[in-house]
Amino acid sequence: FEGNLPLLKADGQPLWARVAAVKVASADDAPPTFMIQVVDVTAEREAREQLSYQAFHDALTGLRNRAWILDMLEADLRTARRTSSRVGVLFIDLDNFKLVNDSLGHAAGDEVLALVADRIASVLRPSDRVGRFGGDEFVVVVPDVQNGPGVEKVAERISNAIATELTVQGHRIVPTASMGIAVSTSTSTPASLLRDTDSALFRAKY
């Protein structure tokens, strides 16, 4: 036998161990004897889990990152084609965010981004997906929708949640965001759907 097992130390602390057991040759009438090797691999496992987490999460906000959203969007589109449903996508961009960084500093800007991320996540359904695409841009994927108005209701909840006054480093800020919305068709790909939402966002902002 060889494998990784969760064990407890004598003091009750958990650890992961790589355990290998080998039967030792013995006389026919002797009871079976085994040599067992136990190696603590907790640090190795935690490092691997941390790398896996970093590969698909944004370090600042804790949200999923661009790579994960693209993977999940591909899966959602396959499901939508199979079930004759549609996928809605919202591209969210904070308004005048550069002013926060320029006037209050990047630490304040990071705090705003983290707070906004929490607000977006707090008003989504369990099936909805949200990720940070970079900078002050967020993407929300709404699977299994039938039409645009259904996605617009999600956008309204997000907009109201974002536009609540917050205090950062003693300064009162009322953040707002512009959004682009697109709903998939039978031929949509992650790239084409995100391109449509980006185009809609540009029209919303300018």
- Distance from C-alpha of 49 to C-alpha of 47, rounded to nearest angstrom: 5
Tokens found for residue 204: 């919303």
DSSP 30: S
Query: Which residues on neighbouring strands pair with residue 92, listed in sequence order?
Result: 138, 179
Tokens found for residue 22: 């080998």
81-133 pLDDT, tens digit each: 999 889 999 999 999 999 898 889 999 999 999 999 999 999 999 989 999 99
DSSP 187: T
Digitized pLDDT (tens) for each residue of the chain, 206 residues in all:
889 999 998 999 999 999 999 988 777 778 888 899 999 999 988 888 888 878 888 989 999 999 899 999 999 999 999 998 899 999 999 999 998 988 899 999 999 999 999 999 999 999 899 999 988 999 999 998 876 678 889 999 999 999 999 998 888 999 999 999 999 998 999 999 999 999 999 998 87
Cβ pair 151, 92 in contact under 8 A: no
**Whole-prediction pTM value?**
0.77
Residues with a catalytic annotation lie at 136
